[in-house]
């Protein structure tokens, strides 16, 4: 028959069990404190596709494609294509001045790079708070999420110059379109 080696168990010292449980409680509280401290309370920007180059500043004009949603996934806004051809004078995307949007969105835009795709989460305090725009689908105290593609950005001065050139191009085209075409060609 096989004999099992016996190892005698030593008694636990008085107070050791209490110290062990106190250590476990301290570790759990420390872990909970670290987890609580790491929960973001401000704007977060998650990178989906890395962009390149510098980041826009507060006075720059960005050209973006975006979809804005509420916490339950309801879409409240979407960028639209410009309703006229731009002839490549201005980039694709919806033009917006960084300083002209809600503070949380401006903060998020300044963390992006050209060509990148991002998800921006904006807490209500950095969006519209308890006073969303009138007749808006955004309820009071709503957190907002934006899927954003940063097509391009430029200084306000450059954007103004390009929009003026676009306006001149459109006026020239309208001038040509409004000129009389002459009598219709005879029917055969």
Residue 111 lies in a domain: yes
Residue 184 lies in a domain: no
Residue 107 lies in a domain: yes
Residue 94 near residue 79, CB atoms below 8 Å: yes
| Tokens, residue 71 | 């916490």
pLDDT digits 0-9 by tens, 92-123: 999 999 999 999 999 999 999 999 999 999 99
pLDDT value at 27 more than 90? no
Residue 24 lies in a domain: no
State which residues form the domain around 79: 44-174
The pLDDT value recorded for residue 82 is 80
The pLDDT value recorded for residue 156 is 94
Residue 21 lies in a domain: no
Closest CA to 145 of 74, 55, 64: 74
Q: How far is CA 185 from the centre of its chain?
A: 56
Question: Which residue did the predictor score with more confidence, 72 or 14?
Answer: 72
Residue 135 lies in a domain: yes
Residue 13 lies in a domain: no
CA separation (Å) from 129 to 40, 68, 124, 140? 17, 16, 5, 6
Helices in 15-134 by DSSP H: which ranges? Answer: 16-37, 103-109
Rounded to 5°, angle at Cα 34 from 30 and 38: 170
Number of domains into which the chain is organized? 1
| Tokens, residue 52 | 């390149």
Residue 38 lies in a domain: no
DSSP, collapsed to helix, strand or coil, labels residue 66 as strand
Which CATH number does the domain housing residue 56 bear?
Answer: 3.10.50.40
């Amino acid at each position: 028959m096989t004999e099992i080696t016996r190892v005698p168990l030593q008694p636990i010292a008085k107070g050791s069990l209490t110290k062990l449980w106190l250590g476990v409680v301290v570790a759990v509280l420390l872990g909970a404190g670290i987890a609580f401290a790491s929960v973001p309370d401000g704007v977060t920007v998650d990178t989906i596709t890395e962009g390149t180059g510098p980041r826009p500043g507060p006075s720059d004009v960005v050209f973006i494609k975006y979809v804005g949603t509420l916490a339950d996934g309801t879409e409240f806004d979407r960028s639209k294509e410009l309703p006229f051809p731009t002839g490549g004078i201005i980039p694709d995307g919806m033009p917006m001045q960084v300083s002209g949007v809600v503070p949380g969105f401006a903060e998020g835009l300044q963390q992006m790079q050209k060509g990148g795709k991002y998800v921006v989460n904006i807490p209500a305090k950095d969006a519209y708070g308890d006073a969303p725009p009138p007749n808006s689908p955004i309820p009071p105290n709503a957190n907002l999420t934006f899927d954003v593609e940063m097509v391009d950005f430029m200084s306000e001065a450059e954007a103004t110059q390009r929009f003026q050139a676009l306006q001149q191009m459109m006026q020239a085209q309208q001038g040509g379109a409004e000129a009389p075409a002459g009598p219709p060609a005879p029917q055969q």
